[in-house]
Every structure is written in structure tokens, then in C-alpha cells.
Amino acid sequence: MLVPRFYHLRYRRNKKIQQQEVLTTRRAFVLKLQKQYDLRDDAMQDTSLANAFDHYDRDQHGRGWVIINLSRALLVGVNDKAVRILISLIQRRDVDPAGQGIYLDRYDDVLGRLSNWNSTQEIGETIDQLENMVLNGNKAISGQVLLSLILALMGIVFSIFSVLQPDNWQRQSGISLGILFIAALCSWFYARFGARLWFILGILAIVATTLFDTATFWLGPLMRLLSFLHV
């Protein structure tokens, strides 16, 4: 299911509430498909022993559904690989050669294999959650390290300009501190949202501050070198 562009900017809701709304919408769509193909597991339909499984797909990192009865199957929100796995779970001795579907006395065995496969994927969901926790933890640590570096540079800026340029240190240091403040915001955004762009912008802001603060040491020689090369 596609999420509308700028959805998170237009609707500032809790992330769990958004996920629940998406899940509810998908479930309603799946129920319509089950009704259309006579796969509803209730007393109002000729279901032919329909069974529905919530299925976690590791390739898509999301939940879908595997719905099956004696003669047909419906897979929603899963990767194409899941279709091949489901076909392999239904063995030749389970299927009526006349094309009538799965034998009734073999149906429980097929459901057992499907249930085991589904349980294995549930373990995969736990592994994915642990990987996300580690990844988010690493991003938070990187953001904290970047922020610590920025705070250290702020102290260095005060020291440099108060000693080397005591007359105009407030104006010069104000520019440097402004750039470092932007770098601090970038480090917070990186720790909060995890987008690598914020980390790169923070590093660039630190580099810009370093070049600005040390311009008195390298700008003059560089200009002389450029003029010499021009001549």
C-alpha cells in the first residue's frame, strides 16, 4: 500500500497510530479479497476450510497475509519468493491429480508445514527488530560524538579569538558559533531521524568553521601562491 507524498508532514500524528491506520486499511482490503474469492473463514461463506495466516516477510520488512483453502491460495503484502516457498510446501502426494486441489485428509499436514514456515518468519521479525535497535543505537552514538566534537570546538573558538584577536573576537567568534550551532542541529537531526545527509552536513559545518577560524594562517600564503602561479 502506497503512503501519500508528504503524509508525515501534513498529518503530524503518533507513529504507532499511523501504523495502526495503515494496518487497518490493509486488513479491510484483504477481507474484501477473501470475500471475492470465497476465502472468508466464517459461517456465511462456502469457505472450503479456508485458513488465514498473518505472515512477516523479511524481504519487505513488513507484515502480509497468506490465505489458503483446499483449492486456492491468496498471498497479500509478501514477496514473490513467498509464492515459491508456498508451492514447495505443498507436496505432490498432497494434491489431487485430477486438479481438484489438496486432498482433505492431507490438508492438516499442509497447514502444519505452513504454520512452521510462518513461525520461522516470526523469528526473522525479531531479528530484524534487533538489527534496527543496533542500527539506531549506532546512529545515536555517532550523533553524540559529533555533538561532543562541536562543543569542544566552541571552546576552542572562544580561546582562539580571545587571545589572537581580542579587539573583534565577539564578531568573529559569533560567526563561528553560528555555524557550529547549525552543526549541532544537524547532529541532533541525525541522532533523531538517522538520515546520513544530516551527518554529512554536520561534518561540512565543522570543516567550514575550522577553515574560517584558521583563515589568518592559510589564506595569506594561499593568495600569494595563486598570484605567483598566475604570474
Highest-scoring range by mean pLDDT, 3-12, 45-54, 87-96, 180-189: 87-96
Residue finishing a domain among 132, 147, 178: 132
Task: Concatenate the DSSP letters of all residues of 119-151 into one string.
Answer: HHHHHHHHHHHHHHHHHHHHHHHHHHHHHHHHH
CA distance 78 to 141: 34
Report how many helices (DSSP H) and strands (DSSP E) the chain contains, helices first: 7, 5
203 with 118, same domain? Answer: no
- Confidence bin at 12 (pLDDT 50/70/90): very low
126 with 141, same domain? Answer: no
122 with 15, same domain? Answer: yes
Express each pLDDT in 141-197 by its tens digit: 877 777 777 777 777 766 666 665 555 555 666 677 778 788 888 888 887 777 788
| pLDDT value of residue 167 | 58
Residue finishing a domain among 103, 132, 161: 132
**Contact predicate 73/85, CB 8 Å:** no
Residue 2 is assigned to a structural domain of this protein: no
Cα distance from N-terminal residue to C-terminal residue, the chain: 64
Q: State the residue range of the domain holding 146.
A: 136-230
| pLDDT value of residue 134 | 82
157 with 169, same domain? Answer: yes
12 with 120, same domain? Answer: yes
| pLDDT value of residue 41 | 59
117 with 153, same domain? Answer: no
172 with 72, same domain? Answer: no
98 with 27, same domain? Answer: yes
pLDDT at 10 over 50: no
Q: pTM of this prediction?
A: 0.54
Task: Select the more confidently predicted residue: 104 or 176.
Answer: 104
